[in-house]
A and B are shown apart, each in its own frame.
Chain A
Amino acid sequence: MTLAHSSAPITLRPDLARIEQWVKPGSRVLDLGCGDGTLLASLRVNRQVIGAGIEIDDARVIACVKRGVNVLQQNLEEGLALFDDKQFDTVVLSQTLQSMHRTEHILREMSRVAHEGIVSFPNFGYWRYGMSILAGRMPVSGQMPYQWYNTPNIHLCTLRDFEALAGELGMRIVERATFNESREIGVLPGWRSTLAVYRFACAPAVS
C-alpha cells in the first residue's frame, strides 16, 4: 500500500520549479536536506517519482511524515552511507551546499549514489555583493540574510568556482539556470544572478 497523496497544488520556489522540470517522470529521486518535503511532495504529484529525503531537523522530519513524504533523519555531514551506489536516478541538493563543512565529500557522495545530480546555491559573484565588499562590509541580502558572524553559509562560491570544482570531481554539467529573486537571468548570469541551479551527470560508479 502506498500512502495517500494530497492533490492540493504546491507552489515551488523558482529553483525548485526548475529542478522539477529537470526530473524525469517516474524516476527515483533523493532530496538531500529536503526540509518539509515540499519538493518531494510536488515531484510525487507532478512527476510520479519514487522519492526519499534526508533531513536533520525534528520539526521538518515531522512535517515530511505528515505529508506522506518518505524521510530519513540524518546529518548530511555523515555522508550517504545508507545508500548503495547508483541507487537513485537523480539526487538533489538545494541551497545546502554552501553550509556544508565537507563540500567535496558530499558532492562525491552524490555522484556515488545517483546517475544525475542537481545542486542549487547562492551566487557569491553577484555584483551587489562585490559592491558591498568594496564598501567595506560583508553582503547581506534576501538570498543570504545573515551577518558574517551568524551565517551558516561557510562555503560560498561563484558560478565559475562551482564549475571548476565540478570538473575536478568528474561531474559533467549538462544544464544551468540562474535566477535573481524569481526572475530568470540569461545575460551575464555570473554578475547578475543571486541563485544558480546546476544539473550534472555523475561520474560512473567505481567498481
Chain B
Amino acid sequence: MSASSLRAGSIAAGANVVPTTADPGSVGVVTSSLLRFDQPLSLASGQVLPAYELAVETYGVLNERRDNAVLICHALNASHHVAGVSASDPKDIGWWDNMVGPGKALDTDRFFVIGINNLGSCFGSTGPASINPASGLPWGAAFPVLTVEDWVHAQARVADHYGISRFAAVMGGSLGGMQAVSWAIECPERVAHCVVIASTPRLSAQNIGFNEVARRAIITDPDFHGGDYYAHNTVPRRGLSVARMIGHITYQSDDDMAEKFGRTQRQAVGGAAEGEWNYGYDVEFEVESYLRYQGEKFSRYFDANTYLLITRALDYFDPARTCGGDLARALSAATADFLLVSFSTDWRFPPERSREMVRALLKNGRPVSYAEIDAPHGHDAFLLTDPRYHAVVAGYFDRIALALNLGERARTTGVLA
C-alpha cells in the first residue's frame, strides 16, 4: 500500500496522539482507530470470517523507510490501549505504559509502536459480542473459535495497512509472548526481532486445568444461555467473576499474596468483635475481599465469550504439535533474533518454559539472549517496574535502534530515569 493510499484510504488513519506536557515519559492522550478488513479470513478451524474490524492504537512516528515499527501483542484481558491516557477516559492508562513511551524501555521517540486488540476480544475488535452480518444479531456462541495463528494472520493485515513489510520487533508478555513467537514462525520475513516475556511454548496440564475451571464457571452460570446471553439482555457475571478470581491467583506468587494479604482479616464485616471469626461464609479475609472485588470489577467490562475464546486459544497454542513435539523444528522457520525474559517466581509460565524455547532456538543457531529475573511478583512481574527487567528490554531496543540508524536515546524516563 502506498503512502498516499494510506492517508486517503477507506480505512481510518492511525491513532491521533496529542502529547501532554504533564509527564514527559507518557505518549499523552491517545485515541484508538478501527481498521476494517473486507477480505475473508480463513481460520485454523476451517471456518471463514467474511470481514472483521480491529481496534488499533499507535504511538511515535513511522519513519520513511517504515522499518522502525514495533508490534505489541497483548495478554488475556488487555487491549490495543498499550500506553498513554485514553481520550475518552482520563483514568484509563495503557496496560504497558511503564514500558512504552518517550524515553522508556521501548522508546517512542525512535520507534513506531502499534497495539492491536486481538480478533475475538471485546475492546472494539470484532468478537462474539459484535453483530453477525448473516443474522443481524450478536455472534454469541456462533463466533468461530480462534487460534494464536489466526490472530497473527488477522494482524498481518494491519502491518499491510501501514505499509510495514517487516517489524523491527514483535513483542509481548504471557499470551502476547506466544503471539510474538507465532509471528516469528508464521511470518518470518516480517519479524526482525522477537521479544518474548514470561511466556511458554505450550500450556501445561495445570494451565489448561485452570482455564477449564474458569470456563466451567462461565458456562454453568445460568445467565450464560449457551453463549447467547446478549439476546437475553443478561451477562454471566457470577461465572466471569469466578473465572477472573482464579486467574488472579495464578498471576501472583504465593509469597506475593502472603505479603499483600497474609491471613489479615477484613475489618468491620459480619459484626464479629475484632480478632473473632464470623463463623460464616461471607468475606472473612482480606484476600477474599480483594479477589471478589477484582472479579466483580472484571465482570462489568469483559465479555464472557471472549474469556472462553482467549483461554481456548491459549490451550491450543503448541507450535511443536505438528512437528512431532520437536520445538526446534517448529521454530526452524524463524529468522528473527530473540530476546526472552522470565521471572523466577512465575509458576504459571515458569523459567523452565522459557529455557525450553531458548534451547530450541540455540539448536537452530538463532541469535538469542535470555534474562531470568529474580523477582517476587510471579507472572504479573512482566507488567511491573523491576528496573533490571526494564534495563534488559531498553538495552535490547537500543541495539535495534543502532542497527537501524534510528539514533541515540534522546531521554530516559519512567522506570529507568
Q: Chain A residues in contact with chain B, CB under 8 A?
A: 1-4, 50, 52, 58, 61-62, 64-68, 70-74, 81-84, 87
B399/A68 in contact, CB under 8 A: yes
> Chain B residues with Cβ under 8 A from A72's Cβ?
358, 368-370
Across the interface, do A70 and B368 meet the contact criterion of CB distance under 8 Å? yes
B403 interface residue, CB < 8 Å from A?
yes
Kindly list chain B residues whose C-beta atoms are within 8 Å of the C-beta of A87.
362-363
Q: Which of A4, A62, A73 contacts B370 (CB 8 A)?
A: A73
Which residues does B use to contact A, with CB under 8 Å? 192-193, 336-337, 339, 355, 358-359, 362-363, 365, 367-374, 388, 391-392, 395-396, 398-400, 402-403
Chain B neighbourhood of A82, CB < 8 A: 355, 358-359, 362
When A1-B192, A1-B337, A74-B372 are in contact, do A66 and B362 touch as well, CB less than 8 Å? no
Nearest-CB residue, chain B, relative to A58? B388
- A62-B362 contact given A1-B192, A4-B403, CB 8 Å threshold: no
Closest partner residue, chain A, to B405 (CB atom): A4
Chain B positions within 8 Å of A62 at CB level = 371, 388, 391-392, 395
A-B contact count (CB 8 A): 71
Given contacts A2-B403, A3-B399, contact A65 B362 (CB under 8 A): no
A-B contact pairs, 25 of them (CB 8 A): A1-B192, A1-B336, A1-B403, A2-B367, A4-B399, A4-B403, A50-B367, A52-B362, A52-B368, A61-B371, A62-B391, A65-B339, A66-B395, A66-B398, A67-B399, A71-B369, A72-B358, A72-B368, A73-B370, A73-B371, A73-B372, A74-B370, A74-B372, A81-B359, A82-B358
Residues of B contacting A83 in the complex (Cβ-Cβ under 8 angstroms): 359, 362
Chain A residues with CB under 8 Å of B402's CB are 3-4, 68
Inter-chain CA distance A1–B167, complex, in Å, is 11
| Bound Cα distance A4, B405 (Å) | 9
Contacts of A50 in B (CB 8 A): 365, 367
Docked CA distance A4–B395 (Å): 13
Q: Contacts A61-B371, A71-B369 given; 14 further ones with Cβ under 8 A?
A: A3-B402, A3-B403, A50-B367, A58-B374, A62-B371, A62-B392, A65-B339, A65-B392, A67-B399, A68-B402, A72-B358, A73-B371, A82-B359, A84-B363
Which residues does chain A contribute within 8 Å of B359, judged by CB atoms? 81-83
**B-chain residues with CB within 8 Å of residue A2 when the two chains form the complex:** 337, 367, 403
Give the residue name and chain of the A residue nearest to B355 (CB).
Answer: A82
Query: Given A62-B388, A82-B362, are A70 and B395 also a contact pair (CB < 8 Å)?
Result: no
Expressed in whole angstroms, the Cα–Cα distance for A18 and B370 within the complex equals 28
Q: How far is the CB of B208 from chain A (nearest CB, A)?
A: 26
Closest beta carbon of chain A to B130's beta carbon, Å: 37
Q: How far, in angstroms, from A82 to B355 measured CA to CA in the complex?
A: 7
Q: Which 5 A-B pairs have the closest CB atoms?
A: A4-B403, A66-B395, A65-B395, A4-B402, A1-B192
B404 to chain A, nearest CB (A): 8
A61 to B394, CA, bound (A): 13
Q: Which residues does chain A contribute within 8 Å of B400, judged by CB atoms?
A: 3
Q: Report the separation of the CA atoms of residues A13 and B217 in the bound assembly, to the nearest whole angstrom.
A: 63
How many angstroms between the C-alpha atoms of A58 and B403 in the bound complex? 24
- B-chain residues with CB within 8 Å of residue A74 when the two chains form the complex: 370, 372
A residues in contact with B391, CB < 8 Å: 62
